[in-house]
Amino acid sequence: MHFLRYQWEPYLSYGQLFEFEKNKVVYLQGEAGRGIYYLKQGEIKITLLSDKGDERIINMVPPGMLFGEHGVHGEPYLTSGTTTCSSTIYYFSDDVIASICKDHPEAAGIYTDSLIYKFRTLAEIIAHLDSPVEQQMAFYLLKLVQENGNASMNQTAFSKYIGTSRITVNKIIQKWKQKGYIELHKREIIIIDFDKIREIANNPHVN
C-alpha cells in the first residue's frame, strides 16, 4: 500500500477542500456515488454494514490515500467512511476526475491501482470472517502495521474490526503481551515478535 500513498498529491488543485470534525460521515454505504476523496490530514474509518445490521471496521485510511473509489459514475458506495479525528479532505467529482485523467493520463493508473487494492482488501476481510478470533486479530494487526506503520487503535475499535466483544479482544491482547509477542504503549500495539504473529495469522491452532 505504501507505493500508493501521496501519489494523488499532484492533482489536489483540481479538488474541493473540506474540513471535517471528528466522527463525521464522509460517505455512506448504499448511497449513490458522488465521486472520490483524498485524505490530506487526519484518519478515516472504513466500515461495512452486513445484511444483519452488524457494523465491521474493515480499514483505517492514513493520510495520503484515496478512499471511496467505488463511488464513481453514480455507483453506490460499498462501504461507509467516517472521520476518527479532525480531518482535511479533498473531494473529486466524476467530471473533475475525467479532467485530471485527460490532463494527466498517468492519474488513471493511480486511481485504478487504488481501486484494485481496496477490492483486494475487501476480499481478504470477507475471507477471514469465519476464522477464529485470535487468527483474525493477528491478521488485522499485521495489516494495520503494514498500511499505517503502527497499530494505533483502542480495544473497543479493535473489537469492531473483529466483530467480537472487547473482553475477548482484551483477553487475547493480554495473552500476547505476557508471551512477549507485543507491547502496549497507550493506544498503540507494538509487535515485538512478527514471526509469531504471522504464524498465528496463518495458523489458528498456534498457541
CB 183 within 8 Å of CB 177: yes
Cell of 20: 471535517
pLDDT in tens, 163-185: 788 899 899 999 999 999 998 88
CB 35 within 8 Å of CB 10: no
pLDDT at 24: 98
Residue 147 has pLDDT above 80, yes or no: no
Strands 16-20 and 87-92: antiparallel
- Rounded CA-CA distance 51/168 in Å is 24
**194 burial level (CB within 10 Å; 0-12, 13-18, 19+):** exposed
Is the pTM higher than 0.95? The answer reads no
**Cα separations (Å) of 86 from 22, 44, 56, 67, 155?**
5, 10, 22, 16, 21
In order, the DSSP letters of 4-73 are GTTTTGGGGGGSEEEEE-TT-EEE-TTSBP--EEEEEES-EEEEEE-TTS-EEEEEEEPTT-EE-TT--T
| 3-state secondary structure string across 122-175 | HHHHHHHCCCCHHHHHHHHHHHHHHHHCCCECCHHHHHHHHCCCHHHHHHHHHH
Question: Where exactly are the structural domains of the chain?
Answer: 2-127, 130-202
CA 7-97-124 angle, to 5 degrees, is 60
Averaged confidence pLDDT in the chain? 88
According to CATH, the superfamily of the domain at 2-127 is Jelly Rolls (2.60.120.10)
Residue 206 has pLDDT above 70, yes or no: no
pLDDT at 205: 58
CATH of 130-202, one of 1.10.286.10, 1.10.10.10, 2.60.40.10, 3.40.605.10: 1.10.10.10
Q: Do 130-202 and 2-127 have the same topology in CATH? A: no
Exposure b/e, 90-119, CB count within 10 A at least 16 = b = bbbeeebbeebbeeeeebeebbeebeebbe
pLDDT at 203: 76
Q: Which residues pair with 133 in a beta bridge?
A: none
pLDDT at 189: 82
